[in-house]
Structure 1
Amino acid sequence: MSQEVEYWRGRNVVSAMHVHLVFVTKCRRNVFDDAMLRRCEDIMIEVCDSFEAELREFNGEDDHVHLLVHYPPKVAISKLVNSLKGVSSHYLRKEFTGRVNRAIMHGHFWSPSYLAASCGGAPPSIIKQYIEQQRRPV
């Protein structure tokens, strides 16, 4: 079972960086339906493109979304998340006013917290073992 790794190539770097992101709606309000999730995905694809990143996978439930993003090393995850949440909040609140009651959600769409988990590549234990086995000069 081989797994093909896609690399991002820059002028002085080759990388394969992926992050799993989870965003939860404010107070875990059940606001998403299929149409909102589709629009949210479109918005997040555009935001990722502006960071030269790629949204590899997107899905969600009525109160949260999951993203798998392939990104270059020059991108700070906190800035990417800030933009993803800010831009999507703006457009979703504007386009789905009937579903998103600002008073109930205290003027916010997303909870301020989020999950960002690195993924892909070998597990840390394998990397640690590989580093330990390097032939250190005496």
Structure 2
Amino acid sequence: MGDYRSSSHVYWRCKYHIVWTPKYRFKILKGNVAKELYRSIYILLNMKDCEVLELNIQPDHVHLVALVPPKVSISSLMGVLKGRSAIRLFNKFPHIRKKLWGNHFWAKGYFVDSVGVNEAIIRRYVRHQDKEELEYENQLELLKN
């Protein structure tokens, strides 16, 4: 039972791979904005008794592998993550409001998948996402030239 957690009446291991994007997939998650978002995700997950296993913030999307207790639904977790992080980012970086009109930071949807047998593969993918994106962009540049 080493990989399992326990609560009062349940043993659990609920790991999820979650991906979400800024509105219009704008590439705004860079520099200090990315650092603040990274910090916010850790704080918000901790408040919900969740644990970050892997986190990778790309300029236009976020990859997260998290351990989420069964008492927390993914939809409520995403509501907190997207809502509270947007408020924090808008307050800390007011210039973002001008780029993202309508007071919405995040796109409406998100991707979620439960992590099971392929945990090591998914965590490695999230950890090295930036390298794969860079390699893909370099290949596109070669094709353009």
Question: What is the RMSD of the two structures over their aligned residues, measured on CA atoms?
Answer: 2.0
Map 1:47-66 to 2 at 5 A: 47-66=44-63
Does the Cα contact within 8 Å between 2:23 and 2:100 map onto a contact in 1?
no
- Counterpart of 2:7, as a letter, is G
Aligned length: 119
Deviations 1:10-46 (A, max 9, x none): 0111111111111100011111113222211111111
**1:111 has 2:75 as partner:** no
When normalised by structure 1's length, the TM-score is 0.78
When normalised by structure 2's length, the TM-score is 0.74
Higher helix share: 2
SS of the equivalent of 2:77 reads helix
Choose 1 or 2 for highest CA Rg: 1
Gaps of 5+ in 1: 124-138
Gaps of 5+ in 2: 120-145
SS of the equivalent of 1:38 reads helix
Higher strand share: 1
Cα distance in 2, alignment partners of residues 54 and 14 from structure 1: 16
- Counterpart of 2:35, as a letter, is R
Does the Cα contact within 8 Å between 1:24 and 1:65 map onto a contact in 2?
yes
Moved over 2 A (4+): 101-106, 120-123
Percentage of matched positions with identical amino acids: 28
Counterpart position of 2:66 = 69
Does the Cα contact within 8 Å between 1:20 and 1:69 map onto a contact in 2?
yes
Change (3 A) 1:34 1:87: same
